[in-house]
Structure 1
Amino acid sequence: MADVQNRKRKSLSKISFRGVDAETLLNMSTEEFKPLLRSRGRRKFTRGIPKSHERFLEKLQKKKQEANGQKPAVVKTHLRNCMIIPEMIGSVIAVYNGKVFNVVDVRPEMLGRYLGEFSITYKPVARRNPNGNLPLSRMVSLK
């Protein structure tokens, strides 16, 4: 019993993106964040951010300021191809999947990925027997 109490508690792993810790990432601008991305992301930001993405980022910043330290209000979007950048961390975004808006809470682990990756567009098929839980290929005849 004493061993269990004396055992050190596992510390939570520090969140980092490509060797840069979360606190530094929060203070980074998009230009400072660009070299940390993979080639597809660097190319996207080098060519320029579309106006629709800029308006979306402005909405996110506005909702964050209105929140006053609490969880910001949900911002709906159809921009599935919008890449997650440090300015978005802590925001709550509803991403459209073609039918409904799926709510996504943006965390530091999501940096460099697209919003569409967190809002699945199809319903996974459960291949099951209508009379039982086993897949059809695993059914055993009872004869």
Structure 2
Amino acid sequence: MAAPKKTQKRMPRRREEFTYRGFTIDELKAKGISELLPLMPARPRRKIVRGFSRGEETLLTKIRQGDEKVRTHLREMIVMPEMIGKTIEIYNGKEFTKVEFQPESVFHYLGEFALTRKRVSHGSAGIGATRGSKYVPLK
């Protein structure tokens, strides 16, 4: 006789507070740039060590002041912890895309969230495109 199957109950997945390398977003916001540097990946760290450009400094001051509508062309700007929860419009080459930054986006680039190319949606094959379409009656 076969043994009865064990049904294992799954625990509901708990939505925990986001942490980045052991720090919550509030703790990251409280840190200065020099304290954030050891936590960052290499490429954003190098960019910040070399210094922000004038446009990037202006963007950060607008965000710190709490401007309602912030628009930017600076796709190479790093998402800093103080940007989390804010909505920024990023230029994708044609139009401005509204992006609300989530905690998971910290230390990524702004350009990653405003895609410059459309998704490709392929249609069906046209007449003569395949061997089977040779026998499709024409209208």
Give the TM-score category using the shorter length.
0.7 to 0.9
Larger helix percent: 1
Deviation of 1:35 (Å): 1.2
Residue in structure 1 matched with residue 123 of structure 2 by the alignment: 128
User: Taking structure 2 as the reference length, what is the TM-score of the superposition?
Assistant: 0.78
Root-mean-square deviation (CA), in Å?
2.3
- Structure 1 vs Structure 2: percent identity of aligned residues? 35
User: Taking structure 1 as the reference length, what is the TM-score of the superposition?
Assistant: 0.76
Residue in structure 2 matched with residue 20 of structure 1 by the alignment: 23
SS at match of 1:45: helix
Runs of at least 5 residues in structure 2 that lack an aligned partner in the other structure:
1-9
Q: Is the 8 A contact 2:91 2:97 kept in 1?
A: yes
Among 103, 110, 114, the alignment partner of 2:105 is 110
Residue in structure 1 matched with residue 77 of structure 2 by the alignment: 82
Runs of at least 5 residues in structure 1 that lack an aligned partner in the other structure:
1-6, 65-72
Deviation of 1:121 (Å): 0.2
SS at match of 2:97: strand
Compare relative contact order (CA 8 Å, sep 6+) and give the higher one, 1 or 2.
1
Residue in structure 2 matched with residue 60 of structure 1 by the alignment: 63
Deviation of 1:104 (Å): 0.6
Q: Which segments of structure 1 move beyond 3 Å, counting only runs of 4 or more? A: 7-10, 139-143
Residue in structure 2 matched with residue 4 of structure 1 by the alignment: none
The structure number with the bigger radius of gyration is 2
Structure 2 residue 33 is matched with structure 1 residue 38: no
In 1, distance between residues paired with 2:22 and 2:115? 29
